[in-house]
Amino acid sequence: MRGLNNKVAVVAGGGGGIGAATAIRLAEEGATVVVGDLDGGAAQAIATRIQENGGRAISVQFDMSDDASVGSLVKVAIDTYGGLDLMHANAADFSQIYLDTDVLTVPLEIFDRTLAVNLRGYVLCTRHALPELLKRRGAIVYTTSAAAYIGEPERVSYGVSKSGINALMRHVASRWGKEGIRANAVAPGLVLTEKTRDTIPDEFKAYAINLTRSTRLGEPADIAAMVTFLFSDDGAWINGQVISVDGGATLR
Ligand SMILES: NC(=O)c1ccc[n+]([C@@H]2O[C@H](COP(=O)([O-])OP(=O)(O)OC[C@H]3O[C@@H](n4cnc5c(N)ncnc54)[C@H](O)[C@@H]3O)[C@@H](O)[C@H]2O)c1
């Protein structure tokens, strides 16, 4: 893909799954990557893997729900590499997703924590990254989900957080597009990550494949490819969009 060589990228939530695949792909395309994650060891492992492949990367332990911590993540990019071109806001707190039920029964602390990481954290990434991105006409790609618009009967906090991300993304594109900023979101379908590949029951995988217009479920690399494309010069005229990468599970 064109135009990624020597760009500086932050991947917020890059220690595993989709974020890790995106960090690796961005580095393969020539970008320098700051891999941030709550799990500092996981982030370090991805940065090391990129370095061993001949790429440039550094890892940062940070917490998406903490304003100062997100600020320090962005500051590492500025202090180490002199600026920021690309922000991929990707982290999600799945630690208690099974308690995220419906609006009558969900514990409010689960709702609050989900929004603190999955929505407020994306606001924090935007607030810290934008002033730097404006200096270089940079781009933001947020990871959202079909849960934002399909109307699931459960996981109310998750769906609300992802819907909020879509609104945030459209706001950023509308407010700063004329100043050279591009903001987009990628909505993955069911992607098998190292955490979920062996834990999702086969029956559910078969059900989920059946929902697609495809022959398989998603791989982290499928999403990484779209994020990287949106950051590249090949995606230069795409702004304010939610792009579904889900094997046709949703048709819009
Ligand atoms: N995997 C799927 O099927 C799927 C489908 C739709 C959307 N998504 C979205 O894709 C994104 C990545 O999901 P994934 O499946 O790769 O998940 P994952 O759990 O493998 O990766 C998420 C990363 O975020 C990190 N993280 C969690 N809380 C954090 C915090 N407070 N601060 C910093 N980092 C934190 C985790 O440590 C982890 O490395 C999420 O936004 C998720 O909602 C995933």
Report residue 79's pLDDT band, with 50, 70 and 90 as the boundaries. very high
Residue 211, both tokens: 């929902």
Q: Determine the distance separating the centroid of ligand 1 and the alpha carbon of 228, expressed in angstroms.
A: 17
- Report the atom number in ligand 1 closest to the C-alpha of 63: 32
Residues of the chain above pLDDT 70, percent = 100
pLDDT tens readout for residues 222-250? 999 999 999 999 999 999 999 999 999 99
What's the average model confidence in pLDDT over 83-109?
97
- Report the atom number in ligand 1 closest to the C-alpha of 146: 6
Report residue 252's pLDDT band, with 50, 70 and 90 as the boundaries. confident
What is the third-level CATH fold of 8-244?
Rossmann fold (3.40.50)
CB count, 10 Å around CB of 171?
13
Pocket test for ligand 1, best of 37, 59, 70, 100 (most atoms within 8 A of CB): 37
* Average pLDDT over all residues of the chain: 97
Residue closest via CA to ligand 1's atom 33 equals: 38
The 3 state secondary structure assigned to 103-139 is CCCCCHHHHHHHHHHHHHHHHHHHHHHHHHHHHHCCE
Q: Determine the distance separating the centroid of ligand 1 and the alpha carbon of 92, expressed in angstroms.
A: 4
pLDDT tens readout for residues 142-172? 999 999 999 999 999 999 999 999 999 999 9
Q: Determine the distance separating the centroid of ligand 1 and the alpha carbon of 178, expressed in angstroms.
A: 31
Q: How far is CA 196 from the centre of its chain?
A: 17
pLDDT tens readout for residues 11-67? 999 999 999 999 999 999 999 999 999 999 999 999 999 999 999 999 999 999 999
Residues of the chain above pLDDT 90, percent = 100
- Report the atom number in ligand 1 closest to the C-alpha of 162: 43
- Pick the catalytic residue from 122, 142, 158, 207: 158
Pocket test for ligand 1, best of 10, 11, 18, 186 (most atoms within 8 A of CB): 18
Residue 159 has what pLDDT? 98
DSSP the chain: -TT-TT-EEEEET-SSHHHHHHHHHHHHTT-EEEEEESSHHHHHHHHHHHHHTT-EEEEEE--TT-HHHHHHHHHHHHHHHS---EEEE-----TTGGG---TTTS-HHHHHHHHIIIIIHHHHHHHHHHHHHHHHT-EEEEE--GGGTS--SS-HHHHHHHHHHHHHHHHHHHHHGGGT-EEEEEEE-SB--TTTTTTS-HHHHHHHHHHSSSSS-B-HHHHHHHHHHHHSGGGTT--S-EEEESTTSS--
- Report the atom number in ligand 1 closest to the C-alpha of 220: 16
By mean pLDDT, which of 2-6, 86-90, 132-136, 195-199 is the weakest?
Answer: 195-199
What's the average model confidence in pLDDT over 173-188?
98
What's the average model confidence in pLDDT over 169-183?
98
Residue ranges of the domains in the chain? 8-244
Whether the CB of 192 sits within 6 Å of ligand 1: no
98 as an active site residue: the answer is: no
